[in-house]
Amino acid sequence: MQVSQDMTMARAKASATTVVEARGLDKSFGSVIAVDKADFEIKRGEFISIVGPSGCGKSTLLRMIAGLTPRSGGSLSVNGREVTGPRGDVGVMFQKPTLLEWKTVIENVLLPTALKGRVSEADRSKAQALLNLVGLQDFAHAFPRHLSGGMQQRVALARLLKIGSDILLLDEPFGALDEFTREHLNLELSRIVSDANVTSVFVTHNISEAIFLADKVFVMTPRPGRLAAVVDVPFPRPRELSLLANPDFVDLVARVRDIFSKGETA
């Protein structure tokens, strides 16, 4: 355990630049407080999971970072610049694959590039390389309708990586998939983002998934949506599925679950 602690510390030290910084971040929809005065920092290269039950404001928090939802109060900056709207250094992946059914897989991956201007030959090679990375090398010219739900989300992941932003926001990306596919994709996601050296923020309502993927878990409690705790995850990378049965891992899941039950009694 000591070794892994040191490794985590080393990782944190090597990449200590703050990329996302929130101070007193607020969001209310009418009289409903979705996010109540959140303060947090996200460092470069970190994998953050935001976990909490439905209605705790975790998606709202992510959407504020993405610039898709305006905040009601407080300050929020990404890469040192205040968030005012959607931006190029932040990419978002949604729960639904959001693919265009009239475009082939590779055209879907190239969409972010096509919207910015011309698609070059280099872009096409890059898109093909990303499809290889997500295991879809043979499906470049298939149409989304001919792919399974899991494969469609792989396309969405390749498209997210094609944007080339250094911060990835993932809003329950595998939430609609079955357990087996989800575990498998989580494992791949974990491998891909640590290779790509990007900062990731992953929203989920599944505690063990949140811990399995993350360096730090943001625990949110509902009514009003509040960032209740930030839990460090000490396990080394690369992580294997066997980690799910590790007693330390199970303890950590119980600790996070505890935060929720305390929130309810309070």
Partner 1 sequence: MSSSANTNETRSWLWRVNPTHAAGHAGLLVGLLVLWETGSRTGLLDPLILPAPTAILAALWQIAVVDRLLWGHFGITLYEAMAGFVIGSAIGIALAIGAALWEPFRRYSAPYVVGLQVTPRIALAPIVIAWLGFGTTPNVAIAALLCFFPPFLNTMTGLLDVDRDLQEMFRSLRASKRQVFTQLMLPTALPYMMAGLKTAMTMALIGAIVGEFISASEGLGVLMHRFTFQLNMAATFAVLVALTLMGLLLFALMEWVDNRIVFWRHDERMQEISRKRAAREAGRAATETPGTARVAPAGRT
Closer to partner 1 by Cβ: residue 56 or 93: 93
String of contacts with partner 1 for each residue 98-137, x by CB under 8 A:
x-xxx-x------xx--x---xxx--x-------------
Q: What is the DSSP letter of 208?
A: H
Please check whether residue 53 is in contact with residue 205, taking contact to mean a CB–CB distance below 8 angstroms: yes
Closer to partner 1 by Cβ: residue 202 or 260: 202
Closer to partner 1 by Cβ: residue 100 or 230: 100
Rounded Cα–Cα distance for residues 199 and 154 (Å): 19
Which of residues 66, 127, 136, 167 is near partner 1 by CB under 8 A?
A: 66
- Residues numbered 31 to 50 that lie near partner 1 (CB under 8 A) are none
Nearest distance, CB of residue 128 and partner 1, angstroms = 9
Beta bridge partner(s), residue 218: 50, 230
Q: CA angle, corner 227, sides to 243 and 257, nearest 5?
A: 40
Count residues near partner 1 (CB under 8 A): 31
Which stretch of DSSP H or E encloses residue 42? strand 32-43
**If you write DSSP's letter for every residue of 72-90 in order, what string do you get?**
SEEEEEETTEE--S--TTE
By CB under 8 A, name the binding residues for partner 1: 66-68, 86-88, 90-92, 94-96, 98, 100-102, 104, 111-112, 115, 119-121, 124, 140-143, 145-146, 163
